Structure 1
Amino acid sequence: IDGRPTDITWGPNWDDDLGGGPDHLADDPVLKKMNDQVRLEYEQAFLFYLPRICEHCLNPSSGALYKRIEDGIVLVDQDRCRGWRMCVTGCPYKKVYFNHQTGKAEKCTLCYPRIEAGQPTVCSETCVGRLRYLGVILYDPDKVGEAAATPDEKDLYEAQLSCFLDPDDPTVARAAEESGIPHDWITAARRSPVRALITDYRVALPLHPEYRTMPMVWYVPPLSPVVESLTATGHDGEDPAKLFAAIDALRIPLDYLAHLFTAGDPAPVEAALCRLAAMRAHMRRINLGDPRDPAIARSVGLDERGIEDMYRLLALAKYEDRYVIPTSYTGTVPPDSVDGGCSLDGDGGPGMYDAGLPGMDSFHAPPVPETVAAGDGLRGRVNLLNWDGRGLPRGLFPRRRESER
């Protein structure tokens, strides 16, 4: 605060919020691409939360991972999985986990029993900020490989957009129905909030498209407090012209966001932020009773109706508008599975946090009693969620039997 170096060694949400300070931030792969554009000083720090789940990619890494034909959800084939953990290291988003208790890889299942029943995922429905949207996007699988092989990384965003199909196109709708996709799925694709944010309004962007897995969890980039920054300098923070110009000087650097979402191309990120700023300026005039200015919407490639529709989707969307999920047209929904919570949240999950497991009340996990049932070398392991990474607590590795020594 006073400019002197501060050695912060611990704090709330240390890994997410503080990141270990400048020494560790210097290893940020995104910052390495930006040279000296970001000063690694606390008073210059910026923060925004980026919730990361499995991206359910169009082009997932190989191995036991497969993409379901009926809904595009990426799962781990438990029968094919041999516990080699190649899919764990192969996932660039690090969203495949190894279950030491079962010896199998596991990952987010997108709550597929709920999806099959037409209900949203648990993490979407319980998001207190109503920030997660779910919907159907039709795409051409024959174009995915070509798009993933795009030579220039900065062209990958547009290449993936070219894979998506327009459900309002009669030719697309007819081809979809001929391939066996039910009509209600095509209708859901037309109402999809995800499709609107990605292709209509162009405010949602993919995370690290340079990984070439064609991710399908997209993000609306954060519009940092640019209005307050302009006001502090004596300017009218709500003046659209000044607002758009200030986006280049955001506290969260534009290039940083570009390396996150568009492989370093700042143009799509700047366009998305300008649309968000235009929506703010347009709706402020309406709320204050000021005369409307159609030029605000036109400046970002929208009309007044389009910018107000985007506002309703982002700010006022109801439950049925945020989640447009048709029921499954194949298979059956197991009973009692719809409201069973997150699939990774129970006994035997990747974290192995069984009820009453020793060490749950302490970050430093005490040794687990070395009791292994006969013929069961996978029992008695330490709870990985509580292990602090120091030392080798008993139970971290399977105990060798007397016959193996």
Structure 2
Amino acid sequence: MRVMAQMAMVMNLDKCIGCHTCSVTCKQTWTNRAGMEYAWFNNVETRPGQGYPRTYEDQEKWKGGWTRHPNGRLSLKAGGRLKNLATIFANPVMPSIQDYYEPWTYDYRMLTNAPLQEHTPVARPKSLISGKDMRITWSANWDDNLAGGPELATQDPVLRKMSEKVKLEFEQSFMFYLPRICEHCLNPACAAACPSGAIYKRSEDGIVLVDQDKCRGWRKCVTACPYKKIYFNHKTGKAEKCTFCYPRIEVGMPTVCSETCVGRLRYLGLVFYDADKVLEAASVEDEHDLLDAQRDLVLDPNDPEVVRAAESEGISRDWIEAAQRSPIWQLIHRFRVALPLHPEYRTMPMVWYVPPLSPVVDSVAQTGFDGEDGDNLFAAIESLRIPVEYLAELFTAGDPAPVTEALRRLAAMRSYMRDVNLGRENPDASVAEAVGMSVEDVHDMHRLLALAKYEDRYVIPAAHTEQAHRLEAIATGCSLDGEGGPGMGGPGSSGGKVGLGMPRLRPGSKR
């Protein structure tokens, strides 16, 4: 057993209100620079929907992630070394700017400098690529709140797999918000596809980064990433991606998206995993077994054998204690309500999600019954407005059983804690027992998901001073290096000029 540490995140989708604060603060911190106007390290998608870039989940088209051969070996879906070499100068399988969106600004001079006239002047949209007038037809947030629209929903690759089971009539439409960042995978396809070896996974905390000195702009990583969370900076000719805010993590602070999240839905913590079993877990034959295989990779930090193995690998005592207090291990293993995004890509993603339950309470209440009664909730889960089958295609490779288990546990917590909060003398403990939990488990899960304090949501051990020189050496070529400091509001590598002499792109949606 070779124990390694990994910084991981869990997002509680029940709490996401789609305000996009996380996206805007991340944009202002990391990608508000020339050449990155179209890049959103963090974005919030309305599901069902096409996502960003459009239809990124259609791996038959984009060839992201890994594929398993009958002999049990894994290879990149985009092809092996010879195929990559043959297309190294012209990668044919990569989203175009139209699949992202052509970034724009507005000609505000028309408003401020226009002479007195009969009609009000208009600030026309101008392309940040060509500088010419353009017609806005798409953006990173274009289908916000439009999940029920058949023009957009039918383009959802996940929905196509279950079109016979899901109705798209407006009055029966469903939606929820899905925030996304880089998954910082245990088996990253982007790193395997990089011809120059510029993408690497930090051994001390598992964060996946791009060495800007080594990057040659081949863009094979863009194709290989099934989540399409690597972007190409057309000004610098380098690949860039979410850095998990590693300068903040190193001093014990949460990521910017977590810090500014209005709904407090993000949890950050350290987990231990067995590095010797990553390939074995990613290579299991049945896609439905990938969730359990990935769960088994995450080790119990309270197990004395794991603690001894971690110490033998040089992991410090305070990091071990942080892993033992981690909310991530609790949500993944103890409560079993956190699920990975698209495990069938076989990258072993380390950003997990608690599936949304909110609509089931409303749907039960509309029938005239108690929306938080345990019996009613359990019976209604199978007929959620958000179909369990859709959630299963997102989080469990199409297997509805783990999703149903997670939703039943969330429903049990709501039902039991409702009795407690109403002051009933004998809350029904059988509700917890029906989902394989104890009353103590229910209280602890409620405390973590509903009432967690800052220090309970973010358990981040700071890097040690003895590691400072090594970390500094690693960081010098990392991701957002350049004039003005790593994306922290400086002018960037182009001296502050964005596009073709146009004003800086303002982060936002279709407005």
TM-score (norm 2): 0.65
Q: How far off its partner does 1:158 sit? A: 0.4
The one-letter code matched in structure 1 to 2:311 is E
Q: Does 1:263 align with 2:397?
A: yes
Residue from 308, 326, 331 that aligns with 2:468? 331
Question: Is the 1:101–1:348 contact (alpha carbons within 8 Å) kept by the matching residues of 2?
Answer: no
The answer to whether the 8 Å contact 1:224/1:250 transfers is no
* Alpha-carbon distance in 2 for matches of 1:180, 1:229: 52
SS at match of 1:286: helix
**Which letter maps to 1:307?**
V
Aligned match for 2:265, one of 108, 131, 138: 131
Matches within 5 A, 1:15-26: 15-18=143-146, 21-26=149-154
Distance 1:384-1:247 versus aligned 2 partners, 3 A rule: same
CA change 1:167–1:21 in 2 (3 A) is same
How far 1:355 moved relative to its partner? 5.8
Shift of 1:23: 2.9
In structure 2, what residue type is equivalent to 1:237? G
Q: Secondary structure at the match of 2:333?
A: helix
Q: Are the counterparts in 1 of residues 148 and 170 from structure 2 also a CA contact under 8 Å?
A: no
More strand by share: 2
- Does the residue aligned with 1:225 lie in a helix, a strand or coil? helix
Q: Partners of 1:277 and 1:387 in 2: how far apart?
A: 34
Please point out which of 175, 183, 192 is paired with 2:309: 175
> Does 2:408 align with 1:280?
no
Deviation at 1:178, TM superposition (A): 0.8
- Retained in 1: the 8 A contact 2:148–2:168? no
Q: Deviations over 1:40-87 (max 9, x none)?
A: 222222111110000000001121321100010000122221101110
Q: CA deviation at 1:122?
A: 1.1
Please tell me whether residue 31 in structure 1 is matched to residue 159 in structure 2.
yes
Does the aligned pair in 2 maintain the 1:224–1:251 contact within 8 Å? Answer: no
Match of 1:254, as an amino acid?
V
Query: Within 2, Cα distance between the matches of 1:79 and 1:193?
Result: 36
Displaced runs of 4+ in structure 1, greater than 3 A? 9-13, 342-350, 354-358, 380-388
C-alpha displacement at 1:323, in angstroms?
Answer: 0.6
1:163 matches 2:297: yes
8 Å contact kept, 1:166–1:172: yes
1:117 pairs, out of 238, 241, 251, with 251
| Aligned positions of 1:209-228 closer than 5 A | 209-228=343-362
Structure 2: 5+ residue runs without aligned partners? 1-136, 477-484
Aligned-partner Cα distance in 1 for 2:346–2:416: 37
Which of 165, 178, 181 matches 1:50?
Answer: 178
Give the 3 Å change call, closer, same or farther, for CA 202–280 of structure 1 in structure 2.
Answer: same
Mapped partners of 1:11, 1:150: distance in 2:
37
User: How much does 1:347 deviate?
Assistant: 5.1
After superposition, residues 92-107 of structure 1 pair within 5 angstroms as 92-107=226-241
Provide the residue aligned with 2:454 in structure 1: 319
CA, structure 1 residues 251+386, in 2 after alignment: closer, same or farther (shift >3 Å)?
Answer: closer
CA distance in 1, matches of 2:270, 2:277: 18
1:400 corresponds to: none
Match of 1:134, SS state, is: strand
CA distance in 1, matches of 2:266, 2:486: 18
- TM-fit CA distance, 1:331: 2.5
Query: Contact between 1:99 and 1:349, CA under 8 Å: does it hold in 2?
Result: no
Separation in structure 1 between the aligned mates of residue 281 and residue 372 of structure 2, nearest angstrom: 40
The aligned amino acid for 1:261 is F
Percent same amino acid at aligned positions?
63
1:24 positional shift: 3.4
Aligned-partner Cα distance in 2 for 1:162–1:257? 22
Q: Tell which has more relative contact order, 1 or 2 (C-alpha 8 A, sep 6+).
A: 2
Q: What is the CA distance between 1:196 and its match in structure 2?
A: 0.5
CA distance in 1, matches of 2:397, 2:487: 31
Cα root mean square deviation, aligned:
3.0
TM-score, structure 1 length as denominator? 0.81
**1:385 CA drift (Å):** 7.7
Out of 309, 317, 337, the position equivalent to 2:444 is 309
> Which residue in the other structure is 1:154 paired with?
288
Cα pair 2:147 2:173 within 8 Å, conserved: no
1:279–1:244 CA distance, 2 compared to 1 (3 A): same
Q: Which amino acid aligns with 2:246?
A: Y
Q: What SS does structure 1 have at the residue aligned with 2:307?
A: helix
Whole-angstrom CA distance in 2 between matches of 1:349 and 1:19: 36
Q: How many residues align?
A: 355
Q: How far 1:349 sits from its partner (Å)?
A: 6.7
- Native 8 Å contact 2:182 2:227 kept in 1: yes
Partner deviation per Cα, 1:81-107 (whole Å, 9 max, x = no partner): 110111011111111011111111000
Change (3 A) 1:187 1:386: closer
Alignment correspondent of 1:194: 328
> Which deviates the most, 69-78 or 18-27?
18-27
Residue identity matched to 1:327: A
1:91 to 225, 229, 235: 225
Amino acid at match of 1:331: A
| CA displacement 1:113-149 (0-9 Å, x = unmatched) | 1111111111111111111110011000111101111
Report if the CA contact (8 A) 1:205-1:261 is conserved. yes
Q: For residues 350-369 of structure 1, what are the structure 2 equivalents within 5 Å?
A: 357=498, 368=500
What's the secondary structure of 2:232's corresponding residue?
strand
The DSSP-based 3-state class of the residue aligned with 1:105 is strand
**Aligned residues of 1:111 and 1:343 also touching (Cα < 8 A):** no
Question: Could you give the per-residue CA deviations for residues 166-198 of structure 1, whole angstroms, max 9, x where no partner exists?
Answer: 111111101110110001111111100011111
